[in-house]
Amino acid sequence: MHDTEVEILTARDVPLGGPRAMTVRRTLPQRSRTLIGAWCFADHYGPDEVAESGGMDVAPHPHTGLQTVSWLFSGEIEHRDSLGSHAIVRPGELNLMTGGHGISHTEVSTPGTTVLHGVQLWVALPEEHRHTERDFRHHAPEPVRLHGAELRVFLGTLAGDTSPVPTFTPLLGAELLLDAGATLTLTVDAAFEHGLLVDEGTVLVDGARVRPAELGYVGTGHETLTLTNESDRRARAVLLGGTPFDERIVMWWNFIGRSHQDIVEARDAWEQASERFGHVDGYPGDRLPAPILPNAALTPRGNPPRG
Ligand code: MN
């Protein structure tokens, strides 16, 4: 049994904040879907002319209960975190930061960046690992070349390539390039649900049309995914997958917890400059203050029941 329907999730525009801030296209979370596997946040941005937008400049801010994935198509971002990591995020290279119990970091587009274009993704950590230690991993996957397509597998396994970067739940993350008119049938894990986030071109996913900035969701029970690039130029997309994440989570600002109280504690720790989140060296500015919590208690959310 599987759902044959492909669900099309459309993006909403979200300004990242600040006077000359970039606007991103957010497809996760949304009302109808909180997670795909453990993927719980998907922001897609650009191509953004940095001369006009000012690029990316995110001051020190905290995370808990999640991992962040920065994946670029163009431009470069300088990453610093309270683990002491200092990395340049480049196109086609995975930079995975594990927040665990607490981390803080900064993200600034480099002076040489003229066009910024990519995705920012979050992975929810399962209950037993959500207070794990801070971590940072880098991996530059070798492109997998297939007939009419090129893949970069940054997490999990696809088309015979496996990322060496471990995950806390079974996950897949890959960039796909499809030549104009090409059709690609991928063997996938039937225990996974998948989402195809299209960047450029129009891609049919098992016959359903997914346009740029949309995310096409396919439930579990599929042993293959068939993708066709309908456009007359190359298409680019990011394929996300994982086993359904059955825990209910509370997401607020940069935190993931299980309860309103978890969020209150994380927020208080950040506001008190607690060692929980550590300190980022090398950023020439102030840390981001946490927003005010809403009056109503935050309630845990999960996906709609699977049928
Ligand atoms: Mn962040």
Cα 68 to ligand 1 centre (Å):
7
Can you give the residue range of the structural domain that contains 108? 6-242
Residue 207 falls inside a structural domain: yes
**In the β-sheet with 149-155, what is the strand arrangement from edge to edge?**
6-9, 215-218, 193-200, 235-242, 171-178, 149-155, 144-146
Q: What is the chain's Cα-based Rg?
A: 19
Residue 290 falls inside a structural domain: no
Residue 301 falls inside a structural domain: no
Q: In degrees rounded to 5, what are phi and psi of residue 270?
A: -65, -45
Question: What H or E segment, with its residue span, contains residue 267?
Answer: helix 260-271
Instruction: Specify whether the CB–CB gap between 121 and 71 falls below 8 A.
Output: yes
Cα 97 to ligand 1 centre (Å):
9
Q: What's the confidence (pLDDT) of residue 52?
A: 85
Q: Write the CATH number for 175.
A: 2.60.120.10
Q: What's the confidence (pLDDT) of residue 53?
A: 83
Would you give per-residue pLDDT tens digits along the chain (307 residues)? 455 689 999 999 998 765 557 889 999 999 999 999 999 999 999 999 998 888 899 999 999 999 999 999 999 999 999 999 999 999 999 999 999 999 999 999 999 999 999 999 999 999 999 999 999 999 999 999 999 999 999 999 999 999 999 999 999 999 999 999 999 999 999 999 999 999 999 999 999 999 999 999 999 999 999 999 999 999 999 999 999 999 999 999 999 999 999 999 999 999 999 999 999 999 999 999 999 999 999 999 998 776 5
Cα 122 to ligand 1 centre (Å):
9
Cα 261 to ligand 1 centre (Å):
21
Residue 52 falls inside a structural domain: yes
Cα 120 to ligand 1 centre (Å):
9
Cα 238 to ligand 1 centre (Å):
20
Phi-psi map region of 2: left, alpha, beta (phi>0 left; psi -120 to 50 alpha): beta
Residue 289 falls inside a structural domain: no
Cα 226 to ligand 1 centre (Å):
33
Residue 304 falls inside a structural domain: no
Q: Which of these, 193, 305, 302, lies nearest to 258 by C-alpha position?
A: 302
Cα 105 to ligand 1 centre (Å):
6
Cα 79 to ligand 1 centre (Å):
10
Q: For residues 24 and 9, what is the distance between their CA atoms, to the nearest angstrom? A: 15
Residue 297 falls inside a structural domain: no
Cα 233 to ligand 1 centre (Å):
33
Please give the tally of structural domains in the chain.
1
Residue 296 falls inside a structural domain: no
Cα 249 to ligand 1 centre (Å):
18
Instruction: Specify whether the CB–CB gap between 114 and 65 falls below 8 A.
Output: no
Note the pTM of the prediction, 2 decimals: 0.96
Cα 219 to ligand 1 centre (Å):
28
